[in-house]
């Protein structure tokens, strides 16, 4: 992926920060999976999208994560060991702690700079179960706004639009 899905800026220019969101259906972990959708978005556009989430919805999301997600549980260990095997960063849902092999649907998020992927808060994997819980926290107004934003940049084949129907589910 070399272009922002929204503004189409070139992401591979050194120092350009962006996020990748990819939804997939794993079969037996990452050894085999099908991609539901994936896109890359530059930080300014990701910021715009995040701003569409109402203050009320954002409060609910933050509360959900503070109750369900301990970033120190596994993240710190990976960082301390300078573990650069990406599979170790993605093999468990950061919210539910379910291993990839037990999931039928999940999304992975990565933060990149130019051609490099950054290790830190990202990358991480969220199970479909946790994503559904997060979407339930969003107000109808926020969901409508995200839909409108999504429709602006999804003008590709209808197949892709269908794939994006359930996403993007942003909370980076
Ligand atoms: Zn952009």
Q: How far apart are CA 92 and CA 171, in angstroms?
A: 17
**Across residues 85-102, what is the average pLDDT?**
88
**Strand extents, DSSP E, 28-149:** 32-42, 106-113, 116-118, 124-127
DSSP SS3 for 40: strand
Q: How far is CA 19 from the centre of its chain?
A: 8
Q: What is the pTM of this model?
A: 0.82
Q: What's the gap in Å between 77 CA and the centre of ligand 1? A: 33
Give the confidence band of 150 by pLDDT, cuts at 50, 70, 90: confident
Q: What's the gap in Å between 95 CA and the centre of ligand 1? A: 28
Instruction: Report residues near ion ligand 1: CB below 5 Å.
Output: 4, 6-7, 42, 45
Question: What is residue 163's predicted lDDT score, i.e. its pLDDT?
Answer: 43
Q: What is the mean pLDDT of the chain?
A: 82
Query: Minimal CA–CA distance to 38: which of 172, 148, 160, 171?
Result: 160
Q: How far apart are CA 34 and CA 84, in angstroms?
A: 24
Question: What is residue 29's predicted lDDT score, i.e. its pLDDT?
Answer: 65
Q: What's the gap in Å between 45 CA and the centre of ligand 1? A: 4
Pull the structure tokens for residue 167: 């996403």
Question: What is residue 116's predicted lDDT score, i.e. its pLDDT?
Answer: 94
Per-residue pLDDT reduced to its tens digit, 4-50: 998 999 999 999 999 999 988 988 766 788 888 888 999 999 998 88
Give the confidence band of 74 by pLDDT, cuts at 50, 70, 90: low
Above 80 in pLDDT, residue 156? no
Q: How far apart are CA 139 and CA 22, in angstroms?
A: 23
**Across residues 87-99, what is the average pLDDT?**
88
Top-confidence residue, 126 or 85: 126
Question: What is residue 148's predicted lDDT score, i.e. its pLDDT?
Answer: 80
Q: Torsions phi, psi of 111, nearest 5?
A: -115, 135
Per-residue pLDDT reduced to its tens digit, 103-139: 999 999 999 999 999 988 889 999 999 988 988 888 8
Q: Hunting for tokens 């794939």 — which residue is that?
A: 163
Where on the phi/psi map is residue 82: left (φ > 0), alpha (ψ -120 to 50), or beta?
left
Q: What's the gap in Å between 44 CA and the centre of ligand 1? A: 6
């Amino acid at each position: 992926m070399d272009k922002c899905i929204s503004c189409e800026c070139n992401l591979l220019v050194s120092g350009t920060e962006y996020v990748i969101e990819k939804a997939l259906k794993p079969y037996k972990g990452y050894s085999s999976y099908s991609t539901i959708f994936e896109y890359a978005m530059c930080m300014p556009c990701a910021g715009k999208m995040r701003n569409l989430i109402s203050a009320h919805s954002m409060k609910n999301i933050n509360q959900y994560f503070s109750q369900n997600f301990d970033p120190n549980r596994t993240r710190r260990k990976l960082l301390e060991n300078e573990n650069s095997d990406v599979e170790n960063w993605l093999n468990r849902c950061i919210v539910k702690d379910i291993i990839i092999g037990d999931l039928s649907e999940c999304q992975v998020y990565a933060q990149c700079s130019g051609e490099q992927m950054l290790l830190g808060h990202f990358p991480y994997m969220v199970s479909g179960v946790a994503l559904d819980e997060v979407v339930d926290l969003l107000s109808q107004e926020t969901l409508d706004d995200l839909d409108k934003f999504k429709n602006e940049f999804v003008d590709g084949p209808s197949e892709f639009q269908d794939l994006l129907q359930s996403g993007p589910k942003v909370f980076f």
